[in-house]
Structure 1
Amino acid sequence: MRNQPVIRVQQVSQRFNTASGEFLALDNVSFDIHQGETLSLIGHSGCGKSTLLNLIAGLTLPSSGGLLCNNREIAGPGPERAVVFQNHSLLPWLSTYENVALAVRQVFRGEMNKSEMHEWIMHNLELVQMAHAHNKRPGEISGGMKQRVGIARALAMKPEVLLMDEPFGALDALTRTHLQDAVMAIQQRLNTTIVLITHDVDEAVLLSDRVLMMTNGPAATVGEIMRVDLPRPRSRVALADDSHYQQCRQQVLQFLYEKQPKAA
């Protein structure tokens, strides 16, 4: 895991022009993301987590500083960086199969024949346990199932980095738990690099190799980076009484609610 970083964020600042003047969202943010690790971004609302994820995705460009993916400048979106949003963003008139097929055709047109594309689409639906619903449209499946399809679509692009912007935030607690377990299993199987935005301290500690804690905005920056040295695969039941898990959890809580008290 401690090989050449796959993503480098170097002295990045982001400013926006508003009706009341210039707004500095991010100020001099620097960190690396290594191959095969899961890095969580956590902080109070308005600390620039989504802004930072959009910069890594190439959806926006920084006001100053730079971002690299495999030592190449991130100058726009690319299939090596797939995004899973809180909203599944599935096209409602297409089946789950066809929603995944859209991404596969876009990335692998000319590289796979029709049979190979079909096998690859079904393989990724199977990874998220949605192959049985490949003919169903989004309106016919639950919120958790929609999100599974969104993850399958992202994985089908064979990304080096999977960017997840609060992908479980709108789900009920039980569905959220099942999807967290699914993401951990997929990461273990594929060794995918994951960047995850979350507001949930337990989720951050459970899923991550490192937790990056953002200071309050405006002018948010990296406050602390905590390593989570818990063996994998991880069991939430076993970790409930684990002293190191509790210590990590407490460290994040102290940062959020003592070092970075939320404004009233």
Structure 2
Amino acid sequence: MSTTAFLEISRLTVAFPRSPAPVLRDIDLRIDRGEFVSVIGHSGCGKSTLLNVVAGLLKPSQGGAVLEGKEVSGPGPDRAVVFQNHSLLPWLTCAENIRLAVDQTLSRQMSRAERAGWVAHNLALVRMTQAADKRPHEISGGMKQRIGIARALAMKPKVLLMDEPFGALDALTRAHLQDQVMQIHAALGMTALMITHDVDEAVLLSDRIVMMTNGPNARIGEVLPVRLPRPRDRLALAEQPDFVHARKAVLEFLHARHANPALAAA
């Protein structure tokens, strides 16, 4: 890790008015430029709350997040979010959904023709060129999520934030999109923070896995470096010792926290 983190979450505590205890307490996390970091933990441990603070969608009770030396105080085009629900506008085509984000964030940097070319480029990046003129109801769930990812990438964000982006998809579609995200991450060198419940997904995609204790008063329990060379091939990794070790370490952490209430508050 470098002396100055690209994205730094410091002393973050989030409490809600009607809750007797904070959802998150004293979260400290540093993420370098280009890192892919996953956050995993049981339901209610504040994973999505953490991501929402970084996205600027939720104001922390204490502490906060700093991106490239600037405090996060609200939503901004430097952070793009991909939710589990694709959130596409149903009356727009796939290309128009992406174009709307591009027009709102890059209109001062690109001409109209350049923006049209950029939309086409991002459609091609997620292999959805053939669906440019289709509306969301005309394509599958996996295809919708591809468009959601393309829309986020088209904003040229400094950080891509993903909240269980593949959680609603079938296993085969999920695997295809995971592979595609790995390829995009390698090609663009983007910084990514992903929330997930899926242990294999976290190990496959991440440089580090942040494991949360149970909520409320959830904290970072452990941070596991994933020492697997890139590019990664899911089939080749299945029996790779480092993959198996990382997977086992995450499962052991999650099961220990779930089985022992005392550890949940540790």
> Aligning the two structures, in what range does the TM-score lie when normalised by the shorter sequence?
over 0.9
Q: Is the 8 A contact 1:17 1:23 kept in 2?
A: no
Instruction: Name the residue aligned to 2:264.
Output: none
CA distance in 1, matches of 2:8, 2:77: 17
CA distance in 2, matches of 1:202, 1:2: 28
Instruction: Name the residue aligned to 1:16.
Output: 16
* 1:191/1:60 CA distance change after superposition, 3 Å: same
**Amino acid of the structure 1 residue aligned with 2:156:** K
| Alignment counterpart, residue 137 of structure 2, candidates 126, 136, 139 | 139
| Alignment counterpart, residue 255 of structure 1, candidates 248, 253, 256 | 253
Deviations 1:235-260 (A, max 9, x none): 00000110110000000000000244
Instruction: Name the residue aligned to 2:203.
Output: 205
CA distance in 2, matches of 1:208, 1:110: 34
Larger strand proportion of the pair: 1
The unaligned stretches of length 5 or more in structure 2 are 262-266
Deviations 1:24-65 (A, max 9, x none): 100100010111110000000000000000000010111001
Instruction: Name the residue aligned to 1:71.
Output: 69
Instruction: Name the residue aligned to 2:241.
Output: 243
Instruction: Name the residue aligned to 2:32.
Output: 34
1:117 Cα deviation from its structure 2 partner: 0.5
**Amino acid of the structure 1 residue aligned with 2:45:** C
CA distance in 2, matches of 1:174, 1:262: 34
**Percent sequence identity over matched residues?**
56
Q: Is the 8 A contact 2:214 2:257 kept in 1?
A: no
RMSD: 1.2
The unaligned stretches of length 5 or more in structure 1 are none
Instruction: Count residues in correspondence.
Output: 261
Instruction: Name the residue aligned to 1:223.
Output: 221
What secondary structure is seen at the aligned counterpart in 1 of 2:133? coil
**Amino acid of the structure 2 residue aligned with 1:117:** R
Instruction: Name the residue aligned to 1:94.
Output: 92
Instruction: Name the residue aligned to 1:109.
Output: 107
CA distance in 1, matches of 2:199, 2:106: 37
Instruction: Name the residue aligned to 1:61.
Output: 59
Question: Are residue 158 (structure 1) and residue 153 (structure 2) matched?
Answer: no
CA distance in 2, matches of 1:208, 1:148: 19
Q: Is the 8 A contact 1:92 1:138 kept in 2?
A: yes
CA distance in 1, matches of 2:3, 2:151: 28
1:262 Cα deviation from its structure 2 partner: 7.6
CA distance in 2, matches of 1:66, 1:136: 40
1:114 Cα deviation from its structure 2 partner: 1.3
What secondary structure is seen at the aligned counterpart in 2 of 1:31? strand
Q: Is the 8 A contact 1:162 1:195 kept in 2?
A: yes
